[in-house]
Amino acid sequence: MSKLALVTGATSGIGEAFAERLAADGYDLIIVGRNKDRLEEFTATHPGVKVRTVAADLSTDLGVDTVAEICADEPLAMLVNNAGVAHYMPLAELPADKARELVHVKVVAPTMLTRAAVAGMQERGHGKIINVAGMIAFSGPADKSVMPRRAVYAGSLAHLVAMSQTLSAELEDTGVQVQVLCPGVVATEFHTRQGLDLSAVPRMSAEDVVTAALRGLELGEVVCAPGVEDAGLLDAVFKSDLAAFGGQSPELASRYRAR
C-alpha cells in the first residue's frame, strides 16, 4: 500500500524538492500551494504518481481550515509544513498585513495542520511531521550588526523549534516522529521574492536539505540542522536551555532585590 504525504508550499524550493523526493520514494502526494498553475504543472510532469492538488492560501483562516480538514480526514504518513514568507524588516516598519501574513503562514498554519494530523497518526501508530524552520530561529541573541533585522520572522521560526521539541516529547512511544528542519541559506526563489539578492552568498541546494531531513528522521533527530557539522553545538544550546529552565526558583533572584 502506498504511503500518503501532504506537503505545503510545494510549488517551489524546499517544498517542491520534498514533493519530488517523496514521489520518487513511492509516496502518494497531496501538494498545497497558492499557485494553481504550478500545482497542475507538477501533476502533469509526474504521470506515474498519484497527486492531489490543493490551491489554498495559508495566510487566511479559510486556507488553513481547508488544509487542516484534509489533514484530519486523510491517513497521512507524513506531513511537511513548509509554506513560508519572509518579510525581512524591522518590526516598526513591518506593515500590519505582512506581519499578520507571516504569523499566519509560519505559526498558525503549521500549528493547526499538525494538530489536525497528529490524532490520526497516533491512532494508526505511525507518522512523521516535519516543520520547516531555519537557523534564524537561533539568531535572537545577535546584536544589531546582524542585518537585516527580522524580529517577527525569527520569532515565528523559534516557535516551530519549541513546538516541535515539546510535541516530540508528548508523542514519545506513540510511533509518531516530529522534526523541525533548520537549514541556513538555501538556493531557492524564497529570498528573491523578498527583493533580496543573495546570489553571491554560498547556499545549500533544496535537494540537500531534503536529504538531511529524511536522514535526520532515520537518526531520530528532533532538530535537524543540515549545515551544522558539529551536532554537539546544538546539544549545548538545548542543555543550556534546560539548565536555565531548571534553575528557576520561587524566590526573587538577588540581582533584582533592592539594595
Dihedral sign, Cα of residue 162, residue 77, residue 29, residue 22: positive
Beta bridge partners of 52: 30
Q: What is the pLDDT of residue 183?
A: 95
CA distances from 227 to 10, 47, 92, 140, 204 (A): 22, 34, 32, 19, 8
pLDDT band at 87; cut points 50, 70, 90: confident
- 27, 88, 153, 256: which is the annotated catalytic residue? 153
Average pLDDT, the chain: 93
Tell me whether residue 153 is one of the annotated catalytic residues: yes
Torsion of CA 222, 147, 155, 119, to 10 degrees: -40
Give the position of cell 537561533.
138
* Mean pLDDT across 43-64: 97
Confirm if 70 and 47 have CB atoms less than 8 A apart: no
Q: Reduced to 3 states, what is the DSSP secondary structure of residue 5?
A: strand
pLDDT for residue 199: 64
Return the closest-CA partner of residue 15 out of 72, 77, 63, 82: 82
Q: pLDDT by residue (tens digit) across 155-169?
A: 999 999 999 999 999
pTM of the model: 0.93
In the chain, which residue ranges form alpha helices assigned H by DSSP?
A: 13-24, 36-44, 61-73, 96-103, 109-124, 151-170, 206-219, 231-246
Mean pLDDT to the nearest integer, 228-232: 96
The predicted structure's pLDDT at residue 2 = 77
Tens of pLDDT, residues 134-163: 999 999 998 888 766 789 999 999 999 999
In this structure, which amino acid lies at residue 235?
D
